[in-house]
Amino acid sequence: MNPFQYARADDAADALRRGAISGAAYLGGGTNLVDLMRETIARPDQLIDVTGLPATIAETDDGGLLIDAAVRNTALAEHPAVRMRYPVLSRAILAGASAQIRNMATVGGNLLQRTRCTYFYDAEGARCNKRTPGSGCDAREGFNRIHAVLGASDACVATHPSDMCVALAALDATVHVDGAEGQRTIPFADLHRLPGDQPDRDTVLRDGELITAIALPALPTGARSAYRKVRDRASYAFALVSVAAVLQLEGDRVVDVRIAFGGVAHKPWRATKAEAALRGQTITQQVVLDAAAAEFAEARPLRDNAFKPALVARTLAAVLTDLARGEAA
């Protein structure tokens, strides 16, 4: 770990002022950033603790929720409105990490957690374009079972590890940010980037910008949602793949469906092709598998992860058939 200064922000303005300095980083629960600092992958000179900023979950006029960035993951997962109206989000959060980590982690920080690629973490002994731009990618020809099959580049095949973000992608959330150029909102699906030739940049956030809140729109009446995570052990493991889905039926016909996949790409993957294929259909195993096939038509599996498209398809089929039968919330 490199030496660093620590300051606690009084409010957003204070945080932004301090965060404008080069080498500064915002600190939420620290459940990922501190690990990265210990590994010398993150080397901020200045940590600005933003956990003292507002941490409320408020109803919005349009029937949605506005979640402050400093809300702890546990608080969000356990909030009655979230559990009642957005079970996909509550379940995604509870599927991740451990109770202790969820108690520490913040919503804003969760959005900015970094990949679990083992080569990214091996600062001394492995090449990684995300960690050290231009150094190369050891994952592409190495151990890549947990890596991307969609949207990857020659430079980077890493995946985004968050569970919560997969649910937020399916919920059409909006990210509120503040920075030197003022406040702006970013559709959740646009927050995280594909790696392209700049895999060191995980998001479209500008230097010094601070995530202040996340807005959840109301779900249509009668919409059901679910999250399912597939992993190598029963708890405390990152998703090999995951599926978040929001399904609205009229009779047995799909009026609207929103689907996001975790563990398949550099960002939570909004499966728009599969969604389009499913609208107006009746949910059956084969219909869903065909829709998933459309989504994965462009998949580029690597040595160790060729199982992912089929696994996601089967998981999606199980999630949607359960939702259609009303077996999940």
Partner 1 sequence: MSVFDAAKQAAQGLVQGVVQGAMEKLVPLAPDSWIPGGVPDPLIARKHGLIGKPVSRLDGVHKVSGTAAFAAEYRFDGMVYAALVYSTIPKGRIAAIDSAQAEAAPGVVLVMTHHNAPRLNPMPMFGSSPSAVGATDLPIMQDGVIHWNGQPVVCVLAETQEQADHAASLVHVTFDETPAVTSLAEAQANGVEQGQFMGAPLLDEVGDAEAAFAAAPHRVDQTYRTPRHNHNPIEPHAATLAWIGDRLVIHDASQMVTQQAQNMAQIFGLDPEQVHLTSPYVGGGFGSKGLWNHQVIGAAAAKLAGRPVRIALSREGVYRVVGGRAITQQRVAIGAKADGTFDALIHTGLSTMPPHGTMPEPFILGSQAMYGADTMLLKVEVGRMDTLANTFMRAPGEAVGTFALESAIDELADSLGIDPVELRIRNEPEKDPIKGTPFSSRHIVEAWRTGADRFGWADRPETPGSRRDGEWHVGMGCAMGTYPYYRMPGAEARITLTREGDTVRAKVEIAAAEMGMGTATTTAIVAAERLGLPLEQVDIAYGDSAIPGAIMAGGSQQTAAIGAAVIAAHNALVEELLKLAGNDSPLSGASADEVGSEAGGLARLDNPDAKETYVSILARAQRGDLSVTKAGSAPLETMHWSMHSYSALFCEVRVNAVTGEVRVSRFLGSFDCGRILNPKTALSQFRGGIIMGLGMALMEETQLDERNGRIANASMAEYHLPVHLDVPEIDVIWTDIPDPHAPMGAHGIGEIGITGVAAAVANAIYNATGKRIRDLPITLDKLL
Tell me the closest approach of the beta carbon of residue 240 to partner 1, in angstroms.
Answer: 7
Residue 181 CB, nearest approach to partner 1 (Å): 35
User: Closest CB to partner 1 among 126 and 247?
Assistant: 126
CA 26-79-250 angle, to 5 degrees, is: 115
Name the helix (H) or strand (E) containing 62.
none
Q: Which residues are paired to 57 by β-bridges?
A: 67
Nearer to partner 1, 86 or 120 (CB): 120
Q: Is 315 in the site for partner 1 (CB under 8 A)?
A: yes
Closer of 19 and 309 to partner 1 (Cβ): 309
Q: Tell me the torsion sign for CA atoms 113, 117, 120, 122.
A: positive
Q: Is 143 in the site for partner 1 (CB under 8 A)?
A: yes
Contact call for residues 26 and 20 (beta carbons, < 8 A) = no
For position 240 contacting partner 1 by CB under 8 A, the verdict is: yes
DSSP states of 228-240: EEE-SSSSS---S
* Residue 3 touches partner 1, criterion: CB under 8 A: yes
Q: Is 259 helix (H, G, I), strand (E, B) or coil?
A: strand
The only residue of 65, 137, 210, 317 in contact with partner 1, by rule CB under 8 A: 317
Contact string 34-53 vs partner 1 (x = CB under 8 A): ----x-x-------------
Indicate the residue type of 326.
Answer: G
Q: Please give the Cα distance from 150 to 304 (Å, whole number).
A: 14
Q: For residues 313 and 290, give the distance between their C-alpha atoms in angstroms, rounded to a whole number.
A: 8
**Interface with partner 1 (CB under 8 A), residue from 10, 235, 300, 303:** 235
Choices 165-173, 218-226, 272-280, 303-311; region in contact with partner 1 by CB under 8 A: 303-311
In angstroms, the CA 302 to CA 142 distance is 9
Per-residue x/- track, 100-139, partner 1 (CB under 8 A): ----------------x-xx-xxxxxx-----------x-
DSSP string, 63-100: S-EEEETT-BHHHHHH-HHHHHH-HHHHHHHHTSS-HH
CA 238 to chain centroid: 12
Site for partner 1 contains 232 (CB under 8 A): yes
Integer-rounded Cα radius of gyration of the chain: 19
- Closest distance between partner 1 and the C-beta of residue 27, in Å? 17
59 contacts partner 1 (rule: CB under 8 A): no
The footprint of partner 1 on this chain (CB under 8 A) covers a number of residues equal to: 36
Q: Which residues bind partner 1 (CB under 8 A)?
A: 1-3, 38, 40, 116, 118-119, 121-126, 138, 141-143, 145-146, 230-237, 240, 307, 310-311, 314-315, 317-318
